[in-house]
Amino acid sequence: MSSHVVIPVLAAFAVSLVLGPIVIPFLRKLKMKQTERVEGVQSHLKKAGTPTMGGIIILAAVIVTSLFYVKDYPKIIPVLFLTVAFGLIGFLDDYLKVVLKRSDGLMPMQKMALQIIVTAVFAFYLVKVADIPLTMLVPFSNGYYLDIGWMAVPLLFVAVIGTVNGTNFTDGLDGLASSVTVLVATFFTVVAIGTKSGIEPVTCAVVGALLGFLLFNVYPASVFMGDTGSLALGGFVASTAYMLQMPIFIALFQVLREMGDRIGEGTYSFYNLVPNLVTTPSQAFGEGFGTFVPYLILMIIFAGATFLPMVLQQLKTENTQQKNQTLMMGAIMSLMMLWISWGSPAGVLLFWGASSLIGIGQNQLTLARCRAADRRKEEEEALVVKPIEVNVTRKEKKKRPKKKR
């Protein structure tokens, strides 16, 4: 497992970590500054002047890492294609706006035409080459797949283009787009491993690349990803969802991702337990330890919800080697989740942690009921009186020895 799960994370993280100090000063030198629309969230206006186009770091880390796995894992090709293709569209748009000083960047019709072409190529490859059906897994339906026939094709275009363009709204708020997407990428990685879909190297590469980028994007951000990164991440989420036949789950990503752009300047507390659901733990830490405590608890719950299922799963495992490997993987994942939570809004941590704990509780309850049912069945079978089998086969008579005369 480590060869295609842990190594891509570490490799992409290392590439992102190395490129950051090189690319960010270069972007500052070229004066590729973040510009904010006047009608946007007022807190975003404070970020004007921060270098943008940092998505180059994410793209480079994902591409370099994924290329080592293309031969053995060909199913990562459509995910990598859509991620890179939309990233290039975003790069062109950023370049026109911040380097050539064309305020509009790509014209709307030009951008839409490019996005339709890229999505069409992805759809063709998905259906004709990768042979992935366009049926959709319905959440909480116990494995039911929805088949809407030919309507799945136009829906694919709407879902992909809508997801990609919607990502732009979160870039400009410290760590929001990166932290939310790394949560989704981690979720997709777990699903990819569980279903043996063969795309986990690229999902792990995205996790590692975003963890490295968060070092420079978390509060106070020294760089933003720009359209280069946001469009690429939108392409990654959409393509991965379709490769796993989970496009309906894109709706969850949309809610989490756009949360920061909908909140405005208000303060959203949670029953006076968490002072502000918009604040990240990194921001709360700067306000004093007393303010930071509830956010620290959320971080622990968030990370613990990743480790706890693996512990419960291995309680009755007799294979010591497998148990140790699983627990080690769980510990590494928990440390990663702690780092992700550092730059994530408290509302995201609360939602993700609470839903995970509820899911763990439901799973344990279901397992307990199944075990009880199995025990009752065994007891009933033990009480059934089985008929005694009697061997009635006649034994052959031994021949009597002849008497000597």
The residue segments making up the domain with residue 349 are 267-380
With 0.85 as the threshold, say if the pTM is over it.
no
Query: Which one of 249, 265, 281 terminates a domain?
Result: 265
404 exposed, middle or buried (CB, 10 Å; 0-12, 13-18, 19+)? exposed
Question: Could you tell me which residue, 216 or 322, shows the higher pLDDT?
Answer: 216
347 is a domain residue: yes
- Considering the domain architecture, whether residues 281 and 171 belong to the same structural domain is answered as no
161 is a domain residue: yes
Question: Could you tell me which residue, 80 or 48, shows the higher pLDDT?
Answer: 80
Retrieve residue 188's tokens: 């997709």
What count of residues does the chain have? 405
3-state SS, residue 147: coil
In 3D space, the residue among 205, 214, 232 whose CA is nearest the CA of residue 178 turns out to be 214
Q: Which pLDDT score is estimated for 6?
A: 82
For residue range 309-361, what is the model confidence (pLDDT) as tens digits? 767 766 666 777 667 766 776 677 677 677 777 777 787 777 777 777 777 77
400 is a domain residue: no
In 3D space, the residue among 252, 282, 273 whose CA is nearest the CA of residue 342 turns out to be 282
Residue 268: pLDDT above 90? no
Per-residue pLDDT band for 42 (boundaries 50, 70, 90) equals very low
| Cα-based distances in Å from 178 to 78, 213, 219, 400 | 22, 8, 12, 97
If you write DSSP's letter for every residue of 324-336 in order, what string do you get? HHHHHHHHHHHHH
391 is a domain residue: no
Q: Which pLDDT score is estimated for 118?
A: 92
- Considering the domain architecture, whether residues 139 and 212 belong to the same structural domain is answered as yes
**Phi/psi at 137 (5° precision):** -70, 125
392 is a domain residue: no
Q: 146: which DSSP letter? A: E
**136-137 and 145-146 strand pairing:** antiparallel
- Considering the domain architecture, whether residues 299 and 156 belong to the same structural domain is answered as no
- Considering the domain architecture, whether residues 72 and 84 belong to the same structural domain is answered as yes
- Considering the domain architecture, whether residues 248 and 363 belong to the same structural domain is answered as no
| Torsion (CA) 20, 236, 278, 44 in degrees, nearest 10 | 60
Q: Which pLDDT score is estimated for 37?
A: 44
216 is a domain residue: yes
- Considering the domain architecture, whether residues 70 and 179 belong to the same structural domain is answered as yes
- Considering the domain architecture, whether residues 51 and 185 belong to the same structural domain is answered as yes
**Tally of domains in the chain:** 2
Q: How far apart are CA 163 and CA 178, in angstroms?
A: 15
